Amino acid sequence: MQVVRTYDSRKMLDVSAAVPDIESAFHVTLYSYNHPTEPRQFYAPAEEPSVAAGLPILDVSGLDDFSLPRPMLHCETNQVSQRPLIGSGPGGYYWSRDFRSAYVPGVSLDGSGQSVAGVPRGFDAYDIEPAEP
């Protein structure tokens, strides 16, 4: 296996290897499957990856391509202002009430006095928009 990226935290690394080497290292067999909702095939192991008991590895991920990375932003353009219509807030922005309505409709709590942290999924970069006025 070849290490292709390391991280300052020393808690994660990216590797590249030939399929037989991956199968041997993680005790898996990779197969191709027909994707259930997309016109393509995806690869995935037939079993959960494992390593020798003494190795200090918490998790192995990335052995499948079932879900491909895609932009999550899908917007239409307002023909009058040419601004993207993304959310239900002013100017098309998502605001806290949009999330509350989506995930816990009918709740009167408004989050006053609470703190929120933005945590990236998969340790990728992320942006945080300013709070609603």
Could you tell me how many residues make up the chain?
A: 133
pLDDT classification of 126: cutoffs 50, 70, 90: very low
Tell me, yes or no, if the pTM score tops 0.75.
Answer: no
Percent of the chain with pLDDT over 70: 65
Sign of CA dihedral 50, 54, 58, 62: negative
8 A C-beta contact, residue 32 and residue 55: no
Q: Which distant-in-sequence residues (6+ apart) come within 8 Å of 105 by Cβ?
A: none
Domain spans, the chain: 1-68, 71-105
Looking at every residue in the chain, the average pLDDT score rounds to 75
